[in-house]
Chain A
Amino acid sequence: MTMFILRRIGTMLVTMFALTFVVFYLVNLPGNLEKIAKTEGNMRMTDAEVQAWLDAEGYGRPFFTRYAEWVTNTVQGDMGYSRVFREPVAEVVGERLYYTGILMFWVMIVMVPGALIIGVLAGMREGSPLDRSLSVGSIASTSAPEYVTGIIFVVIFSSALGIFKGIASTRTITFENFTLPVLTMAIYGMGYIARMTRASMAEVMTSQYIRTATLKGMDFRMVVLKHALRNALIAPFTVIMLQFPWLLTGVVVVETMFNFKGFGWTLVQAAGNNDIELLLAISWIAVIIVLATQLISDIGYAFLNPRIRVS
């Protein structure tokens, strides 16, 4: 097991290097650098002036020297200075991650239990009317990406009924302005997890030991709660962990739509305004989150399911 984790962490590091290298290359293309020079200096700089500015700022040095420097700085915790927010990148990222963390917390609180309950109810009696309607419901929810559900929710609950607010501020987190973003994000992932739970539950319900439990005269509710549930929830666990990368895309859409100034919103600001150092920091943090959740999901799966033994 230790070897397995170590090997996975090794792969993770290689992946990190490869990806940050690609991002570093893309954000440092000549066109991007020229744009920075012009926004920082003035728009009517000549090519020679742009070159002089870049040399003075250290962008003229060889690519690999700069990449190596960036890696050493980052490892030491110095992520540079954000040109858009006029603050050190570490502070910007830390603050924004905190806000997104709050959002994600509520999304998880709504999404996971909701999805598991729907999945278990649907999978407990396969083919029943309850199963049919819940399954169609989950298909519908996976068909509507965040930018569609978000708009529908805002139109219904904010514009027409006026119950909730269509904008979520990071300063005041209330039921009124937080409900819509949380619901929007939760719904899209919910359908997917519910379908996985349903499939796994339906499979468990056909197994021998469930039949034995039913035949010995056990109450159906007890069979589901005591015997089926534990085994049926192993597969959804993996899926829930693998939802994080998806949620990351969702975060960007939802935060942009509701103007919630968190991590995803910062990504759009950094990318839109060519804020190189901030963008680099955001990308490696995002990649780490994705890879770490994959690792946790693998370990957790092996841990929960005794049939899987990693050599």
Chain B
Amino acid sequence: MPAETLGTLDILLQILQRFMPVWIALAVTMGGGYFIRDRLGQFGRLYGSRIGLVGLGIVLFWVFTAIFADLIAVTGPVDQLSFTAKKAVPGTIDAEKGVVLLLGGDNLARDIFSRVVYGSRIVLIIAPTATLIAYMVGSTLGLPAGYYTGFVDTAMSFLANLVLAFPVILLFYLLVTPEVREPVMVDLLLFDLPWSIPIAMSAIFFLFPIVFLCLLWFTKYEKNKQRLQVYLGVTLVLGIWVYLGLVFNADPTGLLSMDPNELNVFAAVVFVSSPAVFRVVRGLTMDIKTRDYVAAAQTRGERPWYIMLWEILPNARGPLIVDFCLRIGYTTILLGTLGFFGLGLQPESPDWGTMINHGRSFVRLASTAHIALFPALALMSLVLGLNLLADGMREESLKD
């Protein structure tokens, strides 16, 4: 059936036009950032490095795309158009609704452009959050391992190496088989809680942010009782509310909940990345604890946890921020890998990995290759942006 199509130039122009909110937001932040660059610390110095600036631009592009996804996307992420959109080449105009399929349609007649745009939202929520949680787990364990060394270190390093020696894909397969992840309700006298291995794992991992923050407040405001109570109270109430809602789907107000698939993905990704973070933090701690200001704090009689959290950690922030950027990229790749094997989110989810998985069987024909190509390019550009950003920051921090 001969459907109407647009030329390549028209497609490009229309895409540029659809991203208009992103261009405006980019201009405002990058331009505005230039004027206050002296006050932005590590990020402000990026203006001296071309590579870093390009990376920042790409990352911000995807961040704003995720924020303004509703304005940019033409259709919803799972909306199906008419049969003319099925495997349509880029630029096809849908016969029924008159929608232009800027990047073509997939085998279920969904608009690839809109799906890629909405996919950025999923990727940019899961990847940084999972990395952040992995960081809290890794820091809470890596700091004492590097600070005390000895038995604590040996035991924890052994565990970390254990996880790192495990082939990632096998782990994913084992964790997300339907039989393993099926929650079982456990009766705990007062209330029932769902229970499965991924839930148990997330129950442990999600505890770390709460513990980490509580330790942070406790060591800092130990003498200032009033402030400590406020900080601890807020952290605990909010933390336990989010914790119950996300991990056990047992939020009393019913506001917070997480799809079981998403929870599995979270658990799997955090499990794989936290040992690597542990190693980085442990190494940095071992290095920094020999500095004079740590010795000064020890002489002052500060508690070990105060020294770790308020003397060592802030001074390790430079390399840690760089590593954080790299690791978000790596987490994005992991998410894609999960999607590629169909282990990740629901099959209709527009995240890039799942889209690649759907499109990869059509990749060998030139006329349908775009189904997998565009999400793949999107994923690559985001990771490239993060890597360039990290590289730029490292170059700048090495200059002095």
Which residues of A approach B to under 8 Å, CB–CB? 11, 14-15, 18-19, 23, 26-27, 29-32, 34-35, 135-136, 139-140, 142-145, 147-148, 151-152, 154-155, 158-160, 166-167, 245, 248-249, 252-253, 256-257, 264, 267-268, 271-272, 274, 279, 282-283, 286-287, 290-291, 294
Residues in A with CB closer than 8 Å to B333 are: 145
Chain A: minimal CB distance from B44 (Å): 22
B169–A160 contact, CB under 8 A? no
Closest to A256 in B: B341
A249–B369 contact, CB under 8 A? no
Among B334-374, those with CB < 8 Å from A are: 336-337, 340-341, 353, 356, 359-360, 363-366, 369, 372-373
> What are 11 A-B residue pairs whose CB atoms fall within 8 Å in the complex?
A31-B178, A148-B336, A151-B369, A155-B366, A245-B167, A253-B337, A257-B360, A264-B169, A268-B341, A271-B174, A287-B165
Which one of B182, B364, B376, B387 lies within 8 Å of A147 (CB-CB)?
B376
A152–B364 contact, CB under 8 A? no
B190-216: contact bitstring with A at CB < 8 Å (1 yes, 0 no)?
000000010000000000000000000
**B contacts with A, residue count (CB < 8 A):** 47
Chain A: minimal CB distance from B204 (Å): 15
Residues in A with CB closer than 8 Å to B165 are: 15, 19, 245, 287, 290-291, 294
On whether A26 and B180 interact (CB within 8 A), knowing A15-B165, A19-B165, the answer reads: yes
Which one of A35, A144, A151, A248 lies within 8 Å of B363 (CB-CB)?
A151
A143–B179 contact, CB under 8 A? no
A136–B51 contact, CB under 8 A? yes
Which one of B167, B177, B179, B387 lies within 8 Å of A283 (CB-CB)?
B167
B162–A15 contact, CB under 8 A? yes
B179–A31 contact, CB under 8 A? yes
On whether A139 and B387 interact (CB within 8 A), knowing A147-B336, A147-B356, A151-B363, the answer reads: yes
Which one of A11, A23, A135, A274 lies within 8 Å of B177 (CB-CB)?
A274
Q: Give bound CA distance, A32 to B365, whole Å.
A: 38
Residues in B with CB closer than 8 Å to A143 are: 329, 380, 383-384, 386-387
Determine whether B173 belongs to the interface, using a CB cutoff of 8 Å to chain A: yes
Give how many A-B residue pairs fall within 8 Å (CB-CB): 139
Which residues of B approach A to under 8 Å, CB–CB? 51, 158, 161-162, 164-170, 173-175, 177-180, 182, 197, 329, 333, 336-337, 340-341, 353, 356, 359-360, 363-366, 369, 372-373, 376-377, 379-380, 383-384, 386-388, 391
- Sample of 7 further A-B pairs with CB below 8 A, known A15-B161, A256-B340: A26-B197, A135-B391, A147-B337, A147-B360, A148-B376, A151-B376, A271-B177
On whether A249 and B167 interact (CB within 8 A), knowing A31-B179, A145-B336, the answer reads: yes
A154–B363 contact, CB under 8 A? yes
On whether A31 and B383 interact (CB within 8 A), knowing A159-B366, A252-B169, A271-B173, the answer reads: no
Closest to A145 in B: B333
Which one of A14, A29, A158 lies within 8 Å of B179 (CB-CB)?
A29
B169–A35 contact, CB under 8 A? no
Chain A: minimal CB distance from B365 (Å): 6
Residues in B with CB closer than 8 Å to A135 are: 391
Q: Give bound CA distance, A79 to B340, whole Å.
A: 30
Q: Which of A19, A257, A291 is packed against the most chain B CB atoms within 10 Å?
A: A19
A249–B169 contact, CB under 8 A? yes
Residues in B with CB closer than 8 Å to A142 are: 387
A267–B169 contact, CB under 8 A? yes
Chain A: minimal CB distance from B210 (Å): 27
Residues in A with CB closer than 8 Å to B170 are: 23, 267, 271, 279, 282-283, 286
Chain B: minimal CB distance from A45 (Å): 16
Closest to A30 in B: B179
Which one of A158, A167, A249, A294 lies within 8 Å of B337 (CB-CB)?
A249
Residues in A with CB closer than 8 Å to B373 are: 151-152, 155
Residues in A with CB closer than 8 Å to B365 are: 159
B380–A148 contact, CB under 8 A? yes
Q: Give bound CA distance, A109 to B366, whole Å.
A: 30
B336–A154 contact, CB under 8 A? no
Q: Give bound CA distance, A282 to B173, whole Å.
A: 13
Closest to A291 in B: B165
Chain A: minimal CB distance from B276 (Å): 12
Chain B: minimal CB distance from A134 (Å): 13
Q: Give bound CA distance, A15 to B167, whole Å.
A: 13
A166–B379 contact, CB under 8 A? no
Closest to B353 in A: A147
Closest to B177 in A: A32
Closest to B384 in A: A143
B376–A19 contact, CB under 8 A? no
Q: Give bound CA distance, A135 to B54, whole Å.
A: 14
Chain A: minimal CB distance from B209 (Å): 25
B380–A19 contact, CB under 8 A? no
Chain A: minimal CB distance from B107 (Å): 16
Residues in A with CB closer than 8 Å to B383 are: 143-145
B366–A248 contact, CB under 8 A? no
Q: Give bound CA distance, A147 to B364, whole Å.
A: 14
Which one of B167, B182, B359, B376 lies within 8 Å of A152 (CB-CB)?
B376
Q: Give bound CA distance, A274 to B164, whole Å.
A: 24
Q: Give bound CA distance, A142 to B377, whole Å.
A: 14
Closest to A33 in B: B179
Q: Give bound CA distance, A148 to B376, whole Å.
A: 5
Residues in A with CB closer than 8 Å to B380 are: 143-144, 148
Q: Give bound CA distance, A253 to B179, whole Å.
A: 23
Closest to A288 in B: B165
A19–B336 contact, CB under 8 A? no
On whether A151 and B356 interact (CB within 8 A), knowing A19-B166, A139-B387, the answer reads: yes
Closest to B161 in A: A15
Chain B: minimal CB distance from A277 (Å): 15
Residues in B with CB closer than 8 Å to A158 are: 364
Residues in B with CB closer than 8 Å to A253 are: 169, 337, 340
Q: Which of A18, A148, A282 is packed against the most chain B CB atoms within 10 Å?
A: A148
B336–A31 contact, CB under 8 A? no
Q: Give bound CA distance, A267 to B168, whole Å.
A: 12
Q: Give bound CA distance, A123 to B133, whole Å.
A: 36
B341–A140 contact, CB under 8 A? no
A159–B356 contact, CB under 8 A? no
